[in-house]
Structure 1
Amino acid sequence: MEFAGIKAIVTGGASGIGAATAQLLQERGAEVAVLDLNPHQAPPGTKAIHCDVSDDATIRRAIEEAAELLGGIDVVVNNAGVGAQGTIEANDDDEWHRVFDINVLGMVRVSRAALPHLRRSSHAAIVNTCSIAATAGLPQRALYSATKGAVLSLTLAMAADHLHEGIRVNCVNPGTADTPWIGKLLSTATDPAAERAALVARQPHGRLVSAQEIAAAIAYLSSPISGSTTGVDLAVDGGTQALRLRTRRAGGPQSASTASRPAAGRPAN
């Protein structure tokens, strides 16, 4: 219960990674406010507040409402965001502006509005949901990758700016996660099963990342017991970014290290 007495806000906390994070922080003792376009879908027990991260006035009202309901703000989880597909040719200027406005400026607006409250906290932390798209070149993700690259750089700059105010700033870099957005992406594919198999194959541990695993990383980065962790981008991607494994041949011999344990995601016989 390391979050006992901690007041946290989670943007985009009504579904996917945000909902898993809000639930986990609450289970570990935090009081949580969910800021979302669909607050009625927020996890039970949280304070549900309508918020549009593309509108500064709405954000400022939501932050003040959250601070009043919770009795302060110690942790900000900047999770709200949208996806985008295609090469640089696939989206026009308006879409580039829209996605940057939500994925990058949304985090700026929320953090900016919350700073006065965080400065009064003895355990202040900001965690931004980034992506391995910020650190690895992924096909058909030009716009999305550009926004997440900006989030990574923003995280490091914020960590430097606010360290001496007692505010830690980190980000989590998920691999391909099993979330509603991925579900929508797969539903538009010509062959959803083949597309899912391709996404799974891209990750060395052989499956999609769960929202709960990403929530656990966010909880670590925002926890009061992680006071020496700041300016970190923590990958939760099954080894996609860091590992370069040999391709295993179908029916070929296993190494000693793999033969003695079940494949990832499968129970032992």
Structure 2
Amino acid sequence: MRLANKIAIITGAGAGIGEATAELFVKEGARVVLADLNFEKVQSVAKRLGDQALPIAVDVSKSGQVKAMVDATIEQFGALDILVNNAGYGILGNVVTTDEKAWDDLMNVDLKGVFLCSKHAIPHLEKRGRSAIVNIASTISVVGIKDRAAYVAAKGGVAALTRAMALDHIEQGIRVNSVAPGIIASSYFDKLIAEHPDPEAFKKWNDARAPIGRMGQPVEIAQMILFLASDESSLATGAMFTVDGGYTAW
């Protein structure tokens, strides 16, 4: 019960890494707010997790909605100890082919969303002390990838913002770290594989992109998030923890 009596907000909790993190947090004793743009998804997750989970529909790019989410957390559970900034998505395109509005929309969710959620959560995290923020960055924060210009820029910003926040709020007892997942199996990848002209070959190619020889599973990222949210990582702040099966090592 590494998170006994802890209260956490997890954004993007309707699927994938966010959903796996919510399940693990509840197993470890936390009460969780499941935040997602898709309310039906987080409602479904909350039904499985029971009274320990509160589903909330939120657009993390909207300050008013983020504040309402944090206020609802305090009203329901009385405090806040952990924030997991997981909400985000990617788009295809380089700087020439990426539509300007698509760029702005992605930045508003992937990077501004981290800013807004942290901005409204930190005053409550400070009251508790020994609290934690975990931001979800990406391996492409450090290595880049073709035709993902907006996503690479946003996740690079998340990694940099993590370091700044860690220094700004260390004296308030708030640790801030980021996790950099590699290629993680998800409904997004399932769709890409299903739509590919040669699904089996495409799956094998994705599996081979990391030395470990397979895509990661959401729960494997959730385990790292749990570590960083718990007191087990009491000395860790301002760091990015890469969980990628060796992808960035070669």
What range describes the TM-score normalised by the shorter chain of this pair?
over 0.9
Query: In the alignment, which residue of structure 2 is the partner of 1:37?
Result: 37
Q: Alignment partner of 2:127: what SS?
A: coil
Q: Contact 1:78–1:110 at 8 Å: present in 2 too?
A: yes
Q: Distance in 1 between matches of 2:95 and 2:199?
A: 24
Do structure 1's residue 134 and structure 2's residue 107 form an aligned pair?
A: no
Query: In the alignment, which residue of structure 1 is the partner of 2:54?
Result: 47
1:106-255 aligned at under 5 Å gives the runs 106-242=113-249, 244=250
TM-score, normalised to structure 2, is 0.93
Q: Distance in 1 between matches of 2:209 and 2:19?
A: 25
Query: In the alignment, which residue of structure 1 is the partner of 2:101?
Result: 94
Q: Give the AA of the match of 2:138.
A: S
How far 1:95 sits from its partner (Å)? 0.8
Task: Give 1 or 2: higher helix fraction.
Answer: 2
Query: In the alignment, which residue of structure 2 is the partner of 1:79?
Result: 86
- The RMSD of aligned alpha carbons is 1.3
How far 1:196 sits from its partner (Å)? 2.3
Q: Alignment partner of 2:247: what SS?
A: coil
How far 1:11 sits from its partner (Å)? 0.4
Q: Alignment partner of 1:138: what SS?
A: coil
Q: Give the AA of the match of 1:66.
A: T
Deviations 1:96-128 (A, max 9, x none): 111111100011111101111101113210000
Q: Alignment partner of 2:35: what SS?
A: strand
Q: Greater CA radius of gyration, 1 or 2?
A: 1
Q: Distance in 1 between matches of 2:73 and 2:230?
A: 19
How far 1:64 sits from its partner (Å)? 0.5
Q: Distance in 1 between matches of 2:102 and 2:194?
A: 21
Q: Distance in 2 between matches of 1:197 and 1:87?
A: 26
Percent of pairs with identical residues: 39
Which segments of 5 or more consecutive residues in structure 1 lack a partner in the other structure?
245-269
Q: Residue 91 and residue 188 in structure 1: after superposition, are their counterparts in 2 closer, same or farther (change >3 A)?
A: farther
Q: Distance in 1 between matches of 2:150 and 2:190?
A: 19
How far 1:144 sits from its partner (Å)? 1.0
Q: Distance in 2 between matches of 1:185 and 1:86?
A: 16
Which segments of 5 or more consecutive residues in structure 2 lack a partner in the other structure?
none
Q: Contact 1:49–1:66 at 8 Å: present in 2 too?
A: no
